[in-house]
Amino acid sequence: MIKNYIKIAWRNLVSQRLFSFINISGLAVGLAVCMMIMMYVAHEMSYDRFHENADRIFIPQQSFTMNGNTMNMEYMSYAAGEIIKQRQPVVKDYTRTMAYFKPVIASNPEKPDAKFSEKNLLFADGNFFSFFSFKLLSGSAQHVLDRPFTVVLSEDMAKKYFGDENPIGKTIVLKTDSAFTYQVAGVAENNPSNSSIKYSFVTSNQSLLQMKEAKLYTGTKDISFGNFLPYLLLNHASDTATLRRSLDLMAKQDKTFDKVHYSLSALSTTHLKSNFGDSSNLKYLKIFPLVAVLILLLALANYMNLSTARATLRAKEVGVRKVSGASRKTIAAQFYVESALFTTLSFVLGYVLCYAFKPWFLNVLQLKIDSSFLYSPMVLILLAVLFIITILIAGSYPAVILSAFKPVATLKGKMSKATGGVAVRKVFTTLQFALSVGLIICGIVIDRQLYFFRHKDIGINRDNVVMIPVHNTFGNNYNAFKQDVAQLSGIENVATSHHSMFHGYDMVSINGKTKDDITMVASWMGDDQLIKTLGLKWKYAPATGERLAGMDRLVINEAAIAKLHLPVDPVGSYLQSGDQKFKIIGVLKDFNYSSLQSEISPLILFTPPAKFPFFKRDGCNLFAKIKAHTNLPTLLGKIQSLYKKYDADTPFDYTFMDDAFNAQYQAEDRLSSIFSVFTYITIALASLGLFGLAAFTIEQRTKEIGIRKVLGASIGSINSLLSADFLKLVILSIVIASPVAWWAMHNWLQGFAYRINISWWMFAFAGMTAILTAVATVSYHALKAALANPVKSLRSE
């Protein structure tokens, strides 16, 4: 029986090639999108769950409120982990890590010339490899980190620095603040793509303690904020409530932090919760599954649309089968088998598409997913579930509709209109177009907002400014370097800034009237050329003859006046931070020193003199304003050779301020590119749906069209008669989609302090796109029907 079904299904597939192709590939595209997003979401959800004790590992988070601002801290002093373990019996074990905050320079002493800058040096306690479940390819988990200055390399690093040799026992030089030689004690697997703990090199905290700047990192001897992330292994996952309460109590008793509250975040949630850096993933994670489900439903609706439309042409077959004794059940089973065959082909094609476009997708999202993850049992199970759901849904509607045909009616060739399910099809098509229109509107709004960001006047002249990070390895040579660069032709001006632009800032506490009244304000530090180089404008300029540079002075922005309760023109007033006093010598007009997503907050700009040792100790950035029409590669080459003169080891690096500015909107950029692809796919699927609907309804109206032609209807009038029906659906879909899209985008825009207005032309544009697409799609069938010789259609009666 099944064999007979499959045979007939196959014949239908082959004899109706165009239809089959459209049907299978349409569903395949939907499935491919769905699979891709499913893998992505599964990957995000799987973060850190591969650790054996994942469900019992927690990170304590401290939060405290100061002047109305709640601060969350998860980095603690070195001592914190041990103290917590001592005093909290539910904590079975702990391990601490400190990710070194900047790249280090690594080299194999046997090949001293091959130096590379490497990210992800991790300092960790000796039990790191037994606490977590990262696999060691060589070395024993208990002993690899039990001495100072031993290191575990990731597989990639082992290959990079030692090639095919066995690196165990060999040495490698890692230059942090100064260069240290480490003995390789083990090689670990590369950290899995779904690990929030990243490492290329893992060395012991004991090594850190031996460095001269150790004190800077380890912090106080009690529980306080610091640089270490303490991971706690609890006896039972359910101990969190107890632990949280007794940590709060402990904080109260110690009085070190009496206003602190603790919470515990599970290891497996840290990735999604982390709001540092790129928070875009969370945005995608909310939007994508919705889009995936919608696109899959769209594709399924199309599939059902087309296959029922096509199958009504087979009404006669159903009639004959019923007359020859088939029950409704067997007919339903037959169509189910057919659907299963089609769906299977779609699924296979979808899988191929998904893998073909995966690199592009991951690239746009700037993601890395281990290929081992893609073949993990979890993903395979998800795929199987998707497959089964698709078959069940895809087969159901056609089977029900088609098996319900009445034999007498179908045999007489009098398929009544109702059995075709035209109404259902119309609903499907309308929803599909509504989704397309909605996505187009969203796409336009996102695109315009990004354009607005890129072109808004932010009060900083950011064109042609190159930012060059300079490290403390420059020692006393920084000023000489700065002078050299300033001398180059093509350089208009140079300035020093502590931070590079659009990469964050410091906070400084400003004393209020009472001892407890402290206000935290964003702070920035630069030399006296910074304001000029960036083209910042004065609100209240310094008095003539007043020096800009000096340890005792600072500049604020307009927003700071109100926040710090200063007089309207505060020039000449004083601010106190700790026990230091500063004179306000000028007020800058507000400018956007961070992303346009937020309002301009109060800012203090310290302007120490050029000799200030802080820059030397901490490193800084040289901002060079380049004259227009300068040959950039040549100029950058010259700057690089000057740089190498003073610091041969640290790689030369530079960023244009423009690029840094634009990079702030990377998340939105990516969202926008992915969105446009989703939009194209949706439009394509909706058109496909309309194509099917048009084919079907027009087929049913051939007799009517024939009669109208005999009576004198022109081709144009028939074309518009047929198209008008579909246009009504499209217009309805625009009416449905517009308010929803408006609402969604209105909410999205609320996330930005600086935003565009949603205007009517965006809706008009989206509507026109939908209408033109629909007209083009329908016209194919409408014209075909209008051009057909009426004698033929009437003859078949």
Partner 1 sequence: MIKITELQKYYRTEEVETIALNKLSIEVKEGEFVAIMGPSGCGKSTLLNILGLLDDPDGGSYLFNNIEVADFNERKRADLRKHNIGFVFQSFNLIDELTVFENVELPLIYTGVPSSERVGRVEKVLDKMQIMHRRNHYPQQLSGGQQQRVAVARAVVNNPKLILADEPTGNLDSSNGNEVMELLTDLNEQGTTIIMVTHSEHDARYSHRIIRLLDGQTVMENIMI
Nearer to partner 1, 316 or 708 (CB): 708
Nearer to partner 1, 205 or 793 (CB): 793
CB 187 within 8 A of CB 139: yes
Q: What is the nearest approach in angstroms of partner 1 to the Cβ of residue 758? A: 41
Under 8 Å CB-to-CB from 185, ≥6 apart: which residues?
Answer: 139, 143, 144, 145, 147, 150, 151, 152, 168
Nearer to partner 1, 4 or 789 (CB): 789
Q: What is the nearest approach in angstroms of partner 1 to the Cβ of residue 702? A: 12
Q: What is the nearest approach in angstroms of partner 1 to the Cβ of residue 706? A: 8
DSSP annotation string for 335-400: HHHHHHHHHHHHHHHHHHHHHHHHHHHHHHTT----HHHHTSHHHHHHHHHHHHHHHHHHHHHHHH
Q: What is the nearest approach in angstroms of partner 1 to the Cβ of residue 414? A: 10
Nearer to partner 1, 203 or 723 (CB): 723
Half-sphere exposure (Cβ direction) of 487: Cα atoms closer than 13 Å: 8
Residues binding partner 1 (CB under 8 A): 703-704, 706-715, 717, 789-791, 794-795, 797
Between CA 123 and CA 174 the distance in angstroms is 12
**Helix (H), strand (E) at residue 542:** none
Cβ count within 10 A of residue 340: 19
Could you tell me how far CA 389 lies from the centroid of its own chain?
A: 28
Beta strands in 103-225 (DSSP E): 104-107, 116-118, 121-124, 136-138, 150-154, 171-175, 179-188, 201-204
Nearer to partner 1, 688 or 718 (CB): 718
CA distances (Å), 162 to each of 91, 111, 165, in order?
Answer: 40, 10, 6
Token pair belonging to 4: 């007979």
Token pair belonging to 291: 């889009």
Residues β-bridged to residue 58: 232, 266
Nearer to partner 1, 73 or 707 (CB): 707
DSSP annotation string for 449-516: HHHHHHHS--SS--TTEEEEEE-GGGGGGHHHHHHHHHHSTTEEEEEEESSPTTS--EEEEEE-SSSS
In the block, residue with structure tokens 């599954």: 289
Q: What is the nearest approach in angstroms of partner 1 to the Cβ of residue 6? A: 29
Helix ranges, 492-591 (H): 530-533, 558-563
Q: What is the nearest approach in angstroms of partner 1 to the Cβ of residue 707? A: 5
Nearer to partner 1, 99 or 713 (CB): 713
Nearer to partner 1, 295 or 415 (CB): 415
Q: What is the nearest approach in angstroms of partner 1 to the Cβ of residue 790? A: 6
Q: What is the nearest approach in angstroms of partner 1 to the Cβ of residue 419? A: 14
Nearer to partner 1, 30 or 706 (CB): 706
Under 8 Å CB-to-CB from 594, ≥6 apart: which residues?
Answer: 502, 504, 505, 601, 664
Nearer to partner 1, 715 or 753 (CB): 715
Q: What is the nearest approach in angstroms of partner 1 to the Cβ of residue 407? A: 20
Token pair belonging to 253: 């008793």
Q: What is the nearest approach in angstroms of partner 1 to the Cβ of residue 279? A: 57
